[in-house]
Structure 1
Amino acid sequence: MRYVGIDPSTKTGFVALSGAGEVLRAKELTGIGDKDPKRITTLVQEVVQHIKPGDVIGIEGFSYNSQGRGIGFQFGLGYAIRIAMYSRNHSYTEITPGQLKKFATGSGNTAKAEMPGPIAENWGYSHPSDNVLDAYVLARIMFSIRNREQLTFSLTDYQKEVIDMIINPAAAKKPKAKRKAKRGDKR
């Protein structure tokens, strides 16, 4: 069994951990060229070529607050990877960017530039690509979910909280405060 993390981006991070949590593969995938749809198509092909049957996969969810020219690409690539995995019967777990950051650092608002230090401190892992670092944390989350009973004493409280949010998202949602009805409101 392998634990896989995928961070979809123009340079997609891919990490596969062994059943013991050792890094088997850590790679930045780019596809071919810089024009779409060829770049997205070949990038998706690269991603699925690295996935094996039985892999336990974590993929970073969409960043809905992002802005800029690359947003269309990010959503297109993200959905294309998910469709390719679905069509090949690979199941995956969606992990939000905030959950990824919190699992690595204790804060869901950590800047990308601040991620390498806590990742090296927590797991002794480093890589020059922030996409591969994110993929590593995603793979580490999947490893921790599957092995949480054995890791109980080595996981931090914030890591346990992230795992609980991923395993049981309905319980993690906080109830919204009820809005007081104003005169004339139809409810």
Structure 2
Amino acid sequence: MVKLYVGIDQSRGGFGLSKLYVDGARSCDSTIVRKFDAKQLKVTPGVDVLKAIEYWLTISLRDDRLGIAHVAMEGYSYGSSNGREKAGELGYAVKGLLHDLIPGRARYPTIVTPNQVKLFTTGSGSADKKKMVKAVNERWGRAFTNDNAADAYALARIAEAIDTGNTNYPYEKSVLQELKLHTEAPPAA
């Protein structure tokens, strides 16, 4: 049975979406990065951009939505003071769409902090963007040059590790132990 793990690195400047299909020991994936620039989209900034993101995500996930086993989504950089309101709006739009599109507990993404993504991937929670891209390329045989694509792919790998429990390094296990699965889901019945 093929399982699908989704990684989302959300931002308007470089939204990364990775879909990792795993069938036993074999896997294949697709990773896309899309920039949502209001001028390029010829829409006004604000809600029109959010609706464009929702539409793109719907098109990107709708055919696979029933097979999604887990979604891992990068959370906010809590110490940051720039763009908090826009990040909050984007987070709401993405979470709302996932909730409406995906059935079951997978509709509630596991939120992974930027430091946890870095630690899981590189062994260091303070790795810079170049080290992240390099680590993803070396560990999983990818050829990404874009940090948003690398982050989205790492998040899909985190979603897979959450679902399967398969990890290779002690620091991966420490990240998984810290995560609250299906971050905003109601308690399981």
- TM-score by length of structure 1 reads 0.78
Quote the offset at 1:120 in angstroms: 1.7
In 1: Cα distance, 2:50 partner to 2:28 partner: 26
Quote the offset at 1:42 in angstroms: 0.5
Q: What secondary structure sits across from 1:101 in the alignment?
A: helix
Change (3 A) 1:32 1:38: farther
1:46 aligned partner, one-letter code = W
- Quote the residue 1:62 is aligned against: 76
1:122 aligned partner, one-letter code = R
Quote the offset at 1:167 in angstroms: 5.4
Q: Superposition RMSD on alpha carbons, in Å?
A: 2.0
Q: Which stretch shifts more, 102-111 or 122-131?
A: 122-131
Q: Is the 8 A contact 2:22 2:28 kept in 1?
A: no
Larger Rg: 1
Quote the offset at 1:33 in angstroms: 2.8
Q: What secondary structure sits across from 1:59 in the alignment?
A: strand
Change (3 A) 1:157 1:135: same
Higher strand share: 2
In 2: Cα distance, 1:114 partner to 1:24 partner: 21
Quote the offset at 1:15 in angstroms: 0.4
Structure 1 gap ranges (5+): 169-187
Change (3 A) 1:130 1:7: same
Quote the offset at 1:67 in angstroms: 2.9
Quote the offset at 1:92 in angstroms: 1.7
In 2: Cα distance, 1:67 partner to 1:136 partner: 26
Identity %: 29
In 2: Cα distance, 1:135 partner to 1:161 partner: 20
Quote the offset at 1:110 in angstroms: 1.5
Q: Is the 8 A contact 2:15 2:36 kept in 1?
A: no
In 2: Cα distance, 1:122 partner to 1:115 partner: 10
- Quote the residue 1:178 is aligned against: none
2:96 aligned partner, one-letter code = I
Structure 2 gap ranges (5+): 40-44, 182-189
Whether 1:147 aligns to 2:164 is yes
